[in-house]
Amino acid sequence: MVKITAAEVNKLRQATGAGMMDCKKALVEAEGNFDNAIDVLRKKGQKVAEKRADRDSSEGAAVAKINDDNTVGVAIVLGCETDFVGKNDDFLALANALANVAINYTTKEEFLAADFKGMSVADKLIEQTGVIGEKLDITGFERLEAPFVGQYVHINKIAALVGLSQKVDNAETLVKDVSMQVASMGATSLSYKDFDSAFIAAETEARIAVIEKENIERERMGKTPKNVPEFISMAQLSPEVLAKAEEDAKAELTAEGKPEKIWDKILPGKMERFISDNTSLDQEKCLLDQNFIKDEKKTVAKYVETYGDVTITNFKRVSVG
């Protein structure tokens, strides 16, 4: 029987992250051959992975990395089965090490095939499945390129990336603030201009149906019913729609007996209210139209404008679960 030293066991442990006893058993089985011992651990991981293939990797860690010149960012989720493993320091270190590799690749498929310390990322996940005893998977992968990219990670559960059209003074603060917005408010589009007309039509019908159902209950309880909007997105507010809304506002002012000479002071507020009441979809789903979390008196778009001639080019978000 080949004698296995503590130094050899520790070397294998450092290379694989496996426990001391697992490393010793692998070296014994491999008769002291280091590379063969790694194969032994990998095969163990394959067996464990096969048994746990139908498990749900709904826990884990979200991490983000930006390259040195802030032009490329990547956000990934290393998924596992339990929150206990997802919070482990070694697991978080692995997630960050994988993100350092991921930033060099455009797609998840390329990333999984990439080299990670002598094996593919996919094989590393299998190996660590054997080490940890839980199914590991890359459950989120997003990459973003822009003239300036920044990121924000919320307690390793959500990672967000934001791209700017150019680097400006205090760009780091701008991208961090907007990335926090992306992480916390869950926008799915940059602007209402990105919405498909069929999606808007379906959302309009669904939202109106929800309000009408709520109003039946409110009326039953003697409460004032909610206003049922005709529109939900700026994409629906054509010049003709806005012109009619302004005429309706003027008619209201006339009925209220407001002198025409003060209408120019009142109409802007009424039109802002009309737009606000009829763009609920934009306010929920469109990053630039959301109220800025650090100052709800302005939209994200208005906040970005305070930094001068710069725009948000794109954003990405990944989350655990």
Domain locations in the chain? 6-51, 59-186, 193-302
Return mean pLDDT, the chain.
Answer: 90
* 83, 63 contact by CB (below 8 A): no
**306: number of CA atoms within 13 Å, CB side?**
13
State pTM to two decimals: 0.78
Question: DSSP letter at 287?
Answer: G
pLDDT digits (tens, 9 = 90+) for 122-177: 988 988 888 788 889 999 999 999 999 999 999 999 999 999 999 999 999 999 99
* 291, 241 contact by CB (below 8 A): no
pLDDT digits (tens, 9 = 90+) for 39-92: 777 777 666 656 666 777 789 999 999 999 999 999 999 999 999 999 999 899
CA distance 285 to 195: 10
CA 176 from chain centre, in angstroms, equals 14
Could you name the CATH architecture of 6-51?
A: Orthogonal Bundle (1.10)
Quote the pLDDT of residue 48: 63
Residue 153, C-beta contacts closer than 8 angstroms, at least 6 positions apart? 62, 63, 64, 159, 160, 183
> What superfamily would CATH give domain 59-186?
Elongation factor Ts, dimerisation domain (3.30.479.20)
Q: Which residues face 144 on adjacent strands?
A: 73
Work out the average pLDDT over 257-285.
92
* Fold match between domain 6-51 and domain 59-186: no
Helix axes 239-255, 263-277, angle to 10 degrees: 130
pLDDT digits (tens, 9 = 90+) for 181-230: 999 998 999 999 999 999 999 999 999 999 999 999 998 898 998 888 88
